[in-house]
Amino acid sequence: MRKAYFDGTHRIRHPDQTWEAIRPLLMAYGITRVADVTGLDDIGIPVTMAVRPLARTLSVAQGKGATIAAARVSGAMEAIEAWHGERAVPTAEVRSPAEGLDLPYPVTALESHPGSLVTGRTVLEWITARSALDGEPVLVPAACVQLGREVHGQWRLHLPSASTNGLASGNTRAEAVVHALAELIERDTISALADGQDRGQLVDADSIEDEHCAALIGRLLAAGVWLELWHLPNRFGVPVMSCYLWREDQPALLVSGSGAHLDPHVALSRAITEAAQSRLTQITGSREDIHPAAYRPAVHHGPQPAPGPGVAWSEVVAQHTTGFTTDDGEAEHLAARVAAVTGHHPLVVDLTHGLHQRREFAVVKVLAPALRYDVRHVIPRPAQEVVA
């Protein structure tokens, strides 16, 4: 299906249409309310929170967007994604160490927390994924997909650990796969940045002429927010952006957001709206993993600015020219880029399958061997590229 909505994202339906499709289903996924919390801040970038009291992971999901309609769908779908990661993972088909299976990737190349004890000899339960390139079935550890932990009577190591990285939804399966792959690339880029391996290009915010992104920046500047935007070159050649916000009403807090998409304007929009969402997450105190330091008094002075001038946004846009009218073509392109860099096909687990299959939306978990996700909550400010 051709894309039809382009305001800060690419979708085949307008957010209002998606909302009408999913609204009757919210209670089925334990969502008791989707709240508009935009007004708790005075910046005005729409942010919502979707509440699932019986969640096996975080009970509150956040949503953001250029409009309240987009933010409402974003929050609700993020909660629905988490429900599927908790409760819709396929039943394990095989219990075996990786060494006993014919796998096209080393199990140690899958995402894991530092200090993981997983080896090729670790006995794991396995489910079937499909290659994002050729659709071939490939076994993956169920523990890489299953979110949350339940009480059980057996002692066992929870290895490896799953995260929401690569967990995504969409109006269609292809749309969900596109967003999952973009997130995997974004997180890998941020992880390399944290190591000091990569540098970024500071972007001159005044040079951004895109109507949608310029309006978001205008709201921030009108509210007296210190703003910094970065383009993060990466090994995939995919536009990845980061945004940093600070204001004296939260002096201890430099919030950040990031985004990836083949359209650099969408990547920028995601980074800005995610940073605004991060501010409101701190204001609402709705997450269990907020560090207490975020609420400590501090001296009212802003971050030190980057040392050099920013590049014009037109220079960033000129570096990225690939675009697709359908999600199928975009998903194939992103999967091919990941495979070319890592030597491994991304692997898709369909979580809207069997009894969980829906015509209204799709949820997938994409695993990408050899991609990293080491930075969970803080996006470090890049070092500036040296201009020759």
Average pLDDT over residues 213-223: 96
Classify 193 in phi/psi space as left (phi over 0), alpha (psi -120 to 50) or beta. alpha
Q: How confident is the model at residue 194 (pLDDT cuts 50, 70, 90)?
A: confident
**pLDDT over threshold 60, residue 191:** yes
Q: How confident is the model at residue 211 (pLDDT cuts 50, 70, 90)?
A: very high
Nearest alpha carbon to residue 195 among 387, 370, 385, 382: 382
- pLDDT for 388 equals 45
For residue range 39-49, what is the model confidence (pLDDT) as tens digits?
A: 999 999 999 99
Three-state secondary structure of 319-363: CCCCCCCEHHHHHHHHHHHHHHHHCCCCEEEECCCHHHCCCCCEE
**pLDDT over threshold 80, residue 150:** no
Q: From CA 377, how far away is CA 291, in angstroms rounded? A: 10
**pLDDT over threshold 80, residue 321:** yes
CB 32 within 8 A of CB 51: yes
CB 171 within 8 A of CB 361: yes
Average pLDDT over residues 297-323: 85
Helices (H) and strands (E) in the chain, counts: 7, 13
As given in the structure block, the two tokens for residue 30 are 């334990």
Q: In percent, how much of the chain has pLDDT > 70?
A: 92
- pLDDT for 151 equals 62
- What is 86-134 written as a DSSP string? HH-PPPP-EEEEGGGS--SS-GGGS---TT----TTSEEEEEEEEETTT
For residue range 249-308, what is the model confidence (pLDDT) as tens digits?
A: 888 888 999 999 999 999 999 999 999 999 998 888 776 667 776 777 766 677 888 877
- pLDDT for 289 equals 67
CB 205 within 8 A of CB 235: no
As given in the structure block, the two tokens for residue 313 are 């946004």
Nearest alpha carbon to residue 134 among 323, 380, 346: 346
CB 374 within 8 A of CB 34: no
Residue with tokens 């039809």: 4
Average pLDDT over residues 199-221: 95
CA 370, 386, 263, 243 torsion-angle sign: positive
Q: What is the CA radius of gyration of the chain?
A: 20
SS3 state of residue 283:
helix
